[in-house]
Amino acid sequence: MVHAPSRPTPGLPPVRVNLYSDTQTRPTQAMKAAMLEAEVGDEQAGLDPTIDALCDRMAALLGKEAAIFLPSGTMCNQVAILTHCRPGDAVLAHRTAHILTAEGGGAAALTGAQIMPLEGEGGQYTADTLLAAFNGGSRYDMPQTLVEVEQTANLGGGTVWPLAALNAVADLAHARGIATHMDGARLMNAVVAAGVPAHEMAAGYDSVWLDFTKGLGAPLGAVLCGSAAFIDRAWRWKQRLGGSLRQGGICAAACLYALDHNIDRLADDHDNARVLARGLAQIPGLAVQSPQTNLVFFDTTGTGRNASDIAGALRQLGVMVSVMGTYRGRACTHLDVTRAQVDEAVAAMQQVLAA
């Protein structure tokens, strides 16, 4: 579980290097200007042209018929599950998937669905693992109605599902008559890292969404895509959950700006993550997972100190990281982290562990 970032506390220095998460990004002045200039209307009534433009663009980007703008990625996941499933249904997903570990039991609370956890390295499972998890479909079994993947796999280390693996999982699910869903919170990180277009990665998935509040740097918003019929049903859940907006185009404008300006630069975050990982790996006792994207996971077991202690000591030096377990920490690079700040973070870790 990710520990929440601390509030400003008297006696603590200001945060100089924020590696807690790419959710910590702040809109640039240019993005704010785009928001101020946005043409807006009543989104709930279908009268916001900026949201309409964003949804049209996202449907095209991900190769789907239609799209819906939602306030958050978690709402995208929950609306998708509500649309695909009924109470008593089963969702097959990796045991570290966000829908299982970080959404407050939403699938159970809202849909009445149960998530069946699958094992696999790096936050990914294989088609063979999925096949072995299929039940017989008798009246004693839960109906298995949805298969979910997370691209990139956050708790797996920000790993990128290979296209062949994505397609194999989707093909197997569809052959069983099971729908597929892709949690695409950091999908564009995967696209940039793998050099595979977004619509190809999402081709086998009946629903897919992209978060704009992580590496893309927007203050709010995610877009869920799928068939026209799926999105029409999803709108009912958006309405029920309070996700319908009024002049939401002011936020959609930030997302459009991000599509224009903040995708290619994700490669810089990946480069910074590799530099950070190399620096941390030189520190005795610290075991570092080689990053594929912008997430750097490290194990503190060999230092004799737990991750919370180390994170607290780093915070005293103005560096913020997240804690993912007793001995597991995570540092996340993003558009508000420079190469100089990466070097500062490595130096701070050296100082903490030398002490």
What tens digit of pLDDT does each residue of 183-217 get? 999 999 999 999 999 999 999 999 999 999 999 99
* Token pair belonging to 150: 């997370």
According to DSSP H, which parts of the chain are helical?
A: 29-36, 49-62, 73-84, 98-101, 106, 127-133, 163-175, 187-194, 198-201, 228-240, 249-261, 266-281, 307-316, 339-354
Q: What pTM value is reported for the model?
A: 0.95
* Token pair belonging to 44: 């709930």
Residues 6+ apart with CB under 8 A from 162: 194
Four-CA torsion 225, 229, 232, 233, nearest 10 degrees: -100
282 burial via Cβ count (<10 Å: 0-12, 13-18, 19+): exposed
Spans of the chain below 50 pLDDT: 1-3, 6
Per-residue buried b or exposed e for 243-274, using 16+ beta carbons within 10 Å of the residue's own CB? bbbebbbbbbbbbbbbbebbbeebebbbebbb
Could you give the domains of the chain?
17-26+265-354 (3.90.1150.10), 38-261 (3.40.640.10)
320: phi then psi, degrees, rounded to nearest 5 = -115, 125
What is the spatial distance between Cα 273 and Cα 303, in angstroms, rounded to a whole number?
21
Q: For residues 29 and 245, is the Cβ–Cβ distance under 8 A?
A: no
CA distances from 52 to 39, 48, 168, 213, 242 (A): 11, 6, 33, 19, 19
Three-state secondary structure call for residue 317: coil
What tens digit of pLDDT does each residue of 30-82 get? 999 999 999 999 998 889 999 999 999 999 999 999 999 999 999 999 999 99
pLDDT confidence of residue 11: 75
pLDDT confidence of residue 7: 56
What is the spatial distance between Cα 63 and Cα 79, in angstroms, rounded to a whole number?
20
Three-state secondary structure call for residue 181: strand
207: phi then psi, degrees, rounded to nearest 5 = -140, 150
What is the spatial distance between Cα 271 and Cα 267, in angstroms, rounded to a whole number?
6
